[in-house]
Chain A
């Protein structure tokens, strides 16, 4: 279990998604309940699992209040902090549209 376990205080943060991350998450922004203190690697892990980002294999920038989050650091989060998930743009788009109905062809 990661260091995010335990009975410590939780905060609600805003999460913004860019480019392919938005298409995988299916929304451009969301909220997430996180421990107030957590390791940056655990934050990345939570983002990947909560928002179906495993396809882009962790290749994205995480920013906390518009500042880059480095690996292997400890974060202190506050209520309404803003986290951004930004994959490089040469990675393409993923359209998450759900198919509504089928028509069949050739009889």
Chain B
């Protein structure tokens, strides 16, 4: 039996399973016994371990039941947040993600299983959350949040949880929450570090109060570029869920005007006091200039998603396709420089390539070394090709190298589409990450 047939059979069985589960939920709901305190017997049993806490009680559980939370991003933050919020019995959870599940997500996005690969994240997440708790409503949105839809979605929820991974969406969500008057529980994590804050909560500062200007786009990376450890991003996601519960229950200790920093290497938590609301804030200040959502990709100079990178730094003649490069490999003396990090290089690399991580190229000493090496040992080398993962850094690297090798007759070009293009067009056995 081949893989294709097996996958089709599994998909069919799952579909039938979902139908039977839905029928079971409907049947059970008909036979629910509702107590005078407003909870059903199933809810009493399910939530008993938290209801017996003095700061929750039945009143608190009813508040949680009637609360609605919008999770923006079903990633490393949104998955663990969603699990704890569904577990706690938040009555309505919206979950937004435009993306499909990929194998590279699974080490940290704990809602998904291997068999979800290729499915829309929002739908898979909603299904898993409902499997954990069938007495709550989970609403999946398979959309890219943008200025045209953000306010409409945000206004339907009490609290918004920012579990996104890019700057443009963070500004968009912040402004939407200010305009709609919703608290924003914001988390972020990269590599071994995490941050947590609550914005726009009872007169506290918003994201723009703290960061009026976006970071320069060329300095902004994401988990795909920089890496992240699952348990660190999970820690922040779980803390976001806890903040949401505390807001619903009106408990103290909300991280408004505070910033929690977590470092997973030295295991330190730090709690900073942030500024109060910025009177000059463009969106929440008294003289605000932003009264409706703007173009955030333009404002930040960066895309709201990392799909289809289309950086165009070089002219066509400064680039080469993987097909043309493949033809030249054996016939022309050249130098192939791979500008990915040492760790990525170790994962996989083309034969005979030389690893000079992009981040080290700005150091002139490294370029001088390269020049010396070429002059001494490889003076016949007239062609340098530069490759990276997807063809963005390689273009920037060519620019840097061209600025340095001004007086030489060496041709420097980048390989369009990088290692990814190599796998798709030349060697399908080459790993993709």
Cβ of B215 < 8 Å from any Cβ of A?
Answer: yes
Q: Which residues of chain B from 312 to 363 have a CB within 8 Å of any chain A CB?
A: 333-336, 341-342, 352-354, 356-357, 359-360, 363
List, sorted by A's number, 13 A–B pairs whose CB atoms are closer than 8 Å.
A68-B272, A70-B275, A88-B195, A88-B215, A90-B166, A90-B170, A90-B222, A91-B220, A91-B221, A93-B225, A99-B366, A104-B335, A105-B354
Cβ of B19 < 8 Å from any Cβ of A?
Answer: no
Cβ of B4 < 8 Å from any Cβ of A?
Answer: no
The answer to whether B272 touches A67, judged by C-beta atoms less than 8 angstroms apart, is: yes
The answer to whether A105 touches B259, judged by C-beta atoms less than 8 angstroms apart, is: no
Closest to B266 in A: A28
Question: Given contacts A56-B216, A59-B214, A90-B188, are A103 and B222 in contact (CB under 8 A)?
Answer: no
Closest to B373 in A: A102
Q: What are the residues of chain B within 8 A of A89 when measuring CB–CB?
A: 188-190, 193-195
A-B contact count (CB 8 A): 129
Q: What are the residues of chain A within 8 A of B144 when measuring CB–CB?
A: none
Tell me, in angstroms, the Cα distance from A59 to B212 when the chains sit together. Answer: 9
Q: What are the residues of chain A within 8 A of B365 when measuring CB–CB?
A: 98
The answer to whether B359 touches A95, judged by C-beta atoms less than 8 angstroms apart, is: yes
The answer to whether A93 touches B191, judged by C-beta atoms less than 8 angstroms apart, is: yes
Q: Which residues of chain A from 63 to 107 have a CB within 8 Å of any chain B CB?
A: 63, 66-68, 70, 84, 86-99, 102-107
A102 to chain B, nearest CB (A): 5
The answer to whether A55 touches B188, judged by C-beta atoms less than 8 angstroms apart, is: no
List A residues at the B interface (Cβ < 8 Å). 18-20, 55-59, 61, 63, 66-68, 70, 84, 86-99, 102-107
Tell me, in angstroms, the Cα distance from A92 to B358 when the chains sit together. Answer: 14
Dominant SS at the A interface?
Answer: loop
- Interface residues of B, count at CB 8 A: 55
The answer to whether A63 touches B272, judged by C-beta atoms less than 8 angstroms apart, is: yes
Cβ of B210 < 8 Å from any Cβ of A?
Answer: yes
Tell me, in angstroms, the Cα distance from A70 to B209 when the chains sit together. Answer: 11
The answer to whether A104 touches B378, judged by C-beta atoms less than 8 angstroms apart, is: yes
The answer to whether B335 touches A90, judged by C-beta atoms less than 8 angstroms apart, is: no
When the two chains form the complex, which single residue of A66, A68, A105 contacts B353, counting CB atoms closer than 8 Å?
Answer: A105
B109 to chain A, nearest CB (A): 17
The answer to whether B219 touches A94, judged by C-beta atoms less than 8 angstroms apart, is: yes
B356 to chain A, nearest CB (A): 6
When the two chains form the complex, which single residue of B166, B195, B220, B336 contacts A106, counting CB atoms closer than 8 Å?
Answer: B336
Cβ of B226 < 8 Å from any Cβ of A?
Answer: yes
Top-8 shortest CB links A-B: A92-B221, A105-B352, A89-B188, A93-B226, A59-B215, A68-B275, A92-B226, A67-B273
